[in-house]
């Protein structure tokens, strides 16, 4: 059965790796194991876009070509993580705040040029989701707990020299990496990918 918005989804994101990525994922597993299992920690820069048809990398060949056409214009950038935010009361999402730096916003603009407007329009709030599948009471309790932790008071910087186009169909248990997008000056070009 087809979803009224489409058959599958894609987005482009920055995925922290190394020790920081592992620490964030461990936190996510403690907060919301289902969300942590579905995708690695990331900051969505363009998306989520709904698509029709089978969820295959080949069906995103046009998007991949558009991204490859702009990737050399996207400069590597830093994003700053730290602070606990939420989209309460409307949406039960708790996240690590991400500073909307000039480099991050410039990258987003070029991605939107390649892929078209996304669901955020001009209300883009860069963030890294920690939990989104808890009940209202548990969400409020976790939010209060996290605001007393180092994740609220600390600050971390993440260097971004590549992004990933990812895809998830209705039968997929997790988001799949389908294309690495190397930013300007990073010559390690790859094609369709099944892993990071």
pLDDT of residue 190: 43
- Give, in order, the Cα–Cα distances in Å from 187 to each of 57, 154, 162, 180, 184: 22, 33, 10, 11, 8
- Res. 191: pLDDT tops 50: no
In whole angstroms, give the CA distance from residue 37 to residue 104.
Answer: 26
Q: Where are the domains of the chain?
A: 8-78+100-134+159-182
8-78+100-134+159-182: CATH superfamily: Cyclic phosphodiesterase (3.90.1140.10)
pLDDT of residue 196: 39
Mean pLDDT computed over every residue of the chain: 92
Q: What is the dihedral of CA 109, 100, 90, 128, to 10 degrees?
A: 100
- Res. 129: pLDDT tops 60: yes
187: pLDDT confidence band, cut at 50, 70 and 90?
low
- Res. 193: pLDDT tops 50: no
- Res. 166: pLDDT tops 80: yes
Tens digits of per-residue pLDDT, 38-66? 999 999 999 999 999 999 999 999 999 99
pTM of the model: 0.90
pLDDT of residue 5: 78
């Amino acid at each position: 059965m087809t979803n009224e918005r489409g058959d599958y989804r894609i987005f482009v994101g920055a995925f922290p790796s190394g020790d920081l990525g592992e620490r964030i994922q461990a936190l996510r597993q403690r907060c919301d194991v289902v969300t942590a299992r579905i995708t690695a920690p990331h900051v969505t820069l363009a998306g989520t876009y709904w698509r029709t048809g089978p969820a295959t990398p080949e069906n995103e060949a046009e998007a991949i070509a558009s991204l490859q056409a702009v990737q050399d214009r996207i400069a590597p950038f830093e994003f700053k993580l730290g602070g606990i935010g939420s989209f309460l009361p409307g949406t039960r999402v708790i996240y690590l705040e991400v500073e909307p730096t000039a480099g991050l916003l410039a990258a987003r603009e070029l991605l939107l040029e390649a892929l078209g407007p996304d669901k955020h329009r001009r209300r883009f709030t860069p963030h890294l989701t920690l939990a989104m599948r808890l009940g209202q009471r548990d969400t409020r309790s976790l939010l209060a707990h996290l605001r007393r932790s180092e994740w609220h008071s600390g600050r971390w910087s993440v260097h971004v020299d590549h992004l990933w186009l990812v895809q998830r169909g209705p039968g997929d248990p997790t988001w799949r990496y389908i294309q690495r997008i190397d930013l300007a000056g990073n010559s390690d070009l790859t094609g369709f990918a099944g892993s990071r």
